[in-house]
Amino acid sequence: MIRTAWSWQRRLQTALGMIAKDMATKTWARGDAFSMADCAAAPALFYADKLMPFGKTHKNAAAHLARLMDRPSFARVLQEAQPYFKMFPG
């Protein structure tokens, strides 16, 4: 099967829709407490937003990403990764 840009975009939109719906009533992935689920979600949300910005279309997913990025540990990871961002396509 040939994969097209449309197919990955459609799948990403579907996944973001599921995340946005799930995050409508939560602060963190498992509820009110930050957990390993949020740690696992952070890179995927970060890079998904780089490939296809979703702040205007999936506000709850974007809010979750914003909360993640506000955490000092994640901010430090992003700062330390800066030299490598130029290797990421997009």
Question: What residue spans define the domains of the chain?
Answer: 10-83
Q: Which CATH class is domain 10-83?
A: mainly alpha
Q: Which residues, including other chains, have CB under 8 Å from residue 54's CB and lie 6 or more apart? A: 16, 48, 61, 62
User: pLDDT tens across 29-84, in order?
Assistant: 999 999 999 999 999 999 999 999 999 999 999 999 999 999 999 999 999 999 99
CB-CB neighbours of 28 under 10 Å: 16
pLDDT of residue 77: 94
pTM (2 decimals)? 0.86
